[in-house]
Amino acid sequence: MKTKQVIQECGEHACENSISDFSEPIEKNYELPVIKKDSFLKRFISAAKNSFWDLLSNDMAIDLGTANTLVYIKRKGIVLNEPSVVALRTDTPTKQVLAVGIDAKKMLGKVPANIVAIRPMQEGVIADFEAAEAMLKHFIKKVRMGPSLLKPRIIIAVPVGITWVERRAVEEAAEQAGARKVFLIEEPMAAAIGAGLPVTEPRCNMVVDIGGGTADIAVISLAGVVSGKSLRIAGDKMDAAIMRYIKTKYKFIIGDGTAEDIKIAIANAMPDPQHPETMEVKGRDLVSGCPRILTVTSAEVWEAISEQIKTIIEAIKVVLEQTPPELSADIVDSGIILTGGVAQIKNLDKFISNETGVIIKVAESPLLTVAVGSGKTLDNEMLLREVMMR
């Protein structure tokens, strides 16, 4: 009987322990769905809020370049990439806009006396306020998705070292074009963000952005420009140099568009003398006054634009000299990111690397990097507050 009683007591004791052991895990497990539910609700409310505001306003980022304008819509990506050109009719009391973007570029150099096709942006800043405003209005209207109750917030990338007057002109043009609020971000900062560099960390990120109107060079750390320089020497000046070289050497005249085509097609920073690339171009002979065809080589193109490239390299060296030693050590490890349309010139990265002794990496999509970086700040309010110009 005693044995039976002991067994019974032990059994009861075991059952009590079992209940005690399982009761605590059951209570803990019971809380898990509540945590998941709260997290899900927060995400749902955040997504609904973003969608609601997106319905009210189509916020956008604009890379207002000298050669091309790109527009990035929040959570949609780049939706527009067109030339920064406006065609105006001048024989009316007020100038009438005939075409903007691609259609206007087709008119460059081919218009009668009563029509002008112009680039509102020169050397990275607004040269013709009215034309820039008309161009922005056209592009904003073109990309806005359906009806919206609020005017959009707009982020615009501008060159390093832009003056207060130039900065105010950009802001006013965007406001007149329909912006509710305008934020400015420096082009190399936008390029660094677009290239995926950790701009908010205490380490060096060096960017060289060579576009149509300016070459922007900057060393970035902790969401700020430590040292930088902006040159009004870039793609447009190279086009002009090609035109001048051909005119001087061959007494042959070509247009801006043809010079740009030559640069894109056969420009090479390290041309092969044994196997030069060639291109046939059409223009007018200065001696005879008649149109004819001329063959140009990559070596000649490099001879024409090398002065501009070497000026940019000297500016890169100056910025490197102004960089603190600790950040210079990071540059040795990570190198320099090269962006902008001119970055697509063949072997340019190798040539700059040879001249500076620093590794040069070309961004994955050099033409789109600034627009993508500006757009990323739209999707990250905290990042926008850190990097915007004040």
pLDDT 10s per residue in the chain (390 long)?
Answer: 444 444 444 444 444 444 444 344 444 444 444 444 455 565 555 544 554 455 555 889 999 999 999 999 988 899 999 999 999 998 888 888 999 999 999 998 888 888 999 999 998 889 999 999 999 999 998 987 666 667 889 999 999 888 999 999 999 999 999 899 999 999 999 999 999 999 999 989 999 999 999 999 999 999 999 999 999 999 999 999 999 999 999 999 999 999 999 999 999 999 998 888 999 999 999 999 999 999 999 999 999 999 999 999 999 999 999 999 888 899 998 999 999 999 999 999 999 999 999 999 999 999 999 999 999 998 888 999 999 998
Q: Output the pLDDT for position 38.
A: 56
CATH 3.90.640.10 fits 235-305, yes or no: yes
**How many other C-beta atoms are found inside a 10 Å radius of the C-beta of residue 122?**
16
Residue type, position 346, single letter: K
Phi and psi angles of residue 153, each rounded to the nearest 5 degrees, phi first: -85, 140
Alpha helices in the chain (DSSP H): 2-56, 102-105, 129-143, 164-176, 187-194, 235-250, 256-266, 298-321, 325-334, 348-356, 369-378, 381-387
- Predicted confidence at residue 147, as pLDDT, reads 60
Fold type of domain 60-84+119-195+367-387: Nucleotidyltransferase; domain 5 (3.30.420)
Q: What is the model's pTM? A: 0.82
Same fold, 60-84+119-195+367-387 and 235-305: no
- Nearest Cα residue to 69 out of 58, 80, 77: 80
Q: Which sequence spans correspond to the domains of the chain?
A: 60-84+119-195+367-387, 235-305
Output the DSSP codes for 190-244: HHHHHTT--TTSSS-EEEEEE-SS-EEEEEEETTEEEEEEEES-SHHHHHHHHHH
Distances (CA, A) of 169 to 174, 366, 382: 9, 27, 26
Provide the CB-side half-sphere exposure for 178 (13 A, CA).
20
